[in-house]
Structure formats: structure tokens, C-alpha cells
Amino acid sequence: MKKILVVIMAMVVAVLAGCGGQPAAKEASSPGAEKVELHVAAAASLTDVMKELVAGYEKEHPDVRIVCNFGSSGALQQAIQNGGETDLFFSAAQKQMDALEKDGLLAAGTRRDLLQNEVVLVVPKEGGRDITAFPQVTGADIKHIALGEPKGVPVGQYSEEVFTKLGILDAVKAKAVYGSDVRQVLSWVETGEAECGVVYATDAAVSDKVRVAAKAPADTHKPIIYPAAVLKDAKHMEAAKEFLAFAASDANKKVFEKYGFEVK
């Protein structure tokens, strides 16, 4: 595998038809009622849990259709700053949300820390290297380490923090292949294109093709907190606030936990 550098695009072009995979019904749920189309930008690591939450919300609110845009938090941040239509943003790190808040793009009083995650080192489940700690990635038998592109992918930023703390960042960079989001990193390890990679614990949990070789010590990186907020220019402000409250409700705590997240 040749060393690959995937430069993260400023605009996210892959907009899914709807998180829950439901058809784009245009008819209102009742005569004279207008169908609300809510646009949600969410970190790639939230893909699976968000689809389940959306399906549940749309079932309870037939007058609302939610369209999800999944990608790296950095790409989503840039898309929002460039005027991309977004009502609600779920980020995988504080950095991207901080940037939007600094630019005055968040609706006042809506930002909240929602979830917490962990960084793990994964290897292919079948035939993967016998690794039990992060420093072992510098071994001669490791040719490619899959990482998130650190400029815009939070898991890549956390990875660099870990390797810097361990004093092996330069050695790791020499073997690194960079993905545009955490799911691409996971995919490279699943297919064996990289001998190992760094992803979130929640991404490892949804794959049956990788195994966790090691967890990053908590003192090697900043706490992995997922903030969420409604955008100031949201076209459907009240609907966005209602969906955020729904996602953060006690009733949905078990949904997040099922996918490995710790609810704040």
C-alpha cells in the first residue's frame, strides 16, 4: 500500500438522503401542515447511533424529516462557516465547536457537552499483529499506521497528542496514512491496508473485523468530549432545539451506551 494523504475537503459533499434511511416524503402529515426538513451535521463516529436516534424521533414526529450530513468534524465546521445549510451540529471535539462559537454562529444557550469517548489502537481481527501497547507501532513489522488527518479530524488530533506524549510522533509519522474521517481509518484496518490504526472505542465496537489492541492512557490526550449546539441561522430553530433535547434525554442514554458512548 502506497502512502496516502487524503486532504480533507472544506465542504462535505456526501449528504445522505436521511439518517434513518427513510424516503424523502414531501407530503405533510396532515392537511395544510408543512413538513419540516431538519439538517443535522454529525461527526462520522456518530453515524450508527444517530441513525437509530433519528428513526425514533421521526416515528414520534411524522411532521419532521431529518437529513444527516456525516463527516469529519473539521469538514463539517468548514461547511457551516461557508454557508452550508445546517440546523444542528454534533462535533467529536471542542475545537470545531469553539471555532463556530468564536465566529458567532451558535444559537445562544444551546451548546452542551453531550458525550465522552476513548481512543484505542486497533488491528485486523484475523491475522492482526500481536500488539498490546501504543509504543509497539514503531516496530519493524508495522509498515502502515492509519490515522485521522490531524488538521480536521479530531481522532487524528487525539492520536498525535498520544504519540507526542509517548515521544514517538516522528517515528509514527513516517508510517502514517491519513484518512478523511475516522470511518476511513477504520476501513483501512478492516481490509488490512494498514497493520493498525487509531480510532474511537465506539468505532471499534461496531466493527466485527477489528479488535482493540490497546487503549490510550487518559493522561496522554485531552478528554474526548462531544459537544452539540443549534446554529444561530437554523431555518427550523425550535425543531432543532427539540431534537437536541430528545438526543440528550435520559430516555436515549441507553441508546448511546449501546454504541459505547459515555453520556455526560
Sketch the domain layout of the chain as residue ranges. 36-116+225-263, 117-220
Predicted local distance difference test score (pLDDT) of residue 162: 98
Rounded distance, CA 75 to CA 2, Å? 24
54 is in an annotated binding site: no
Decide whether 36-116+225-263 matches 117-220 in CATH topology.
yes
CATH second-level architecture of 36-116+225-263?
3-Layer(aba) Sandwich (3.40)
Please, what is the angle between helix 154-165 and helix 94-102, to 10°? 120
- Annotated binding-site residue? 158: no
Instruction: Identify which of 68, 67, 83, 93 has the alpha carbon closest to the alpha carbon of residue 10.
Output: 83
At residue 34, the pLDDT reads 73
The strand ranges marked E within 5-130 are 36-43, 64-71, 88-90, 112-117, 119-124
User: Residue 62: its pLDDT value, please?
Assistant: 95
Nearest to 106 by CA among 260, 230, 259: 230
**Can you name the residues that pair with 41 across neighbouring β-strands?**
69, 89
In this predicted model, what pLDDT tens digit does every residue of 20-58 receive, in sequence order? 444 333 333 444 457 899 999 999 999 999 999 999 999
**182 appears as a binding residue in the annotation:** yes
Does 72 carry a binding-site annotation?
no
With the C-alpha atoms ordered 178, 170, 2, 203, is the resulting torsion angle positive or negative?
negative
The x, y and z cell numbers of residue 58, run together, are 421521526
Eight-state DSSP code of residue 45: G
Topology of 117-220 in CATH?
A: D-Maltodextrin-Binding Protein; domain 2 (3.40.190)
Residue type for position 78: Q
pLDDT at residue number 35: 85
Q: Which DSSP helix (H) or strand (E) runs through 247?
A: helix 237-247
pLDDT < 50 regions, the chain: 1-18, 20-32
Pairing of strands 196-200, 145-148: parallel
Is 95 buried (19+), middle (13-18) or exposed (0-12) by CB count in 10 A?
middle
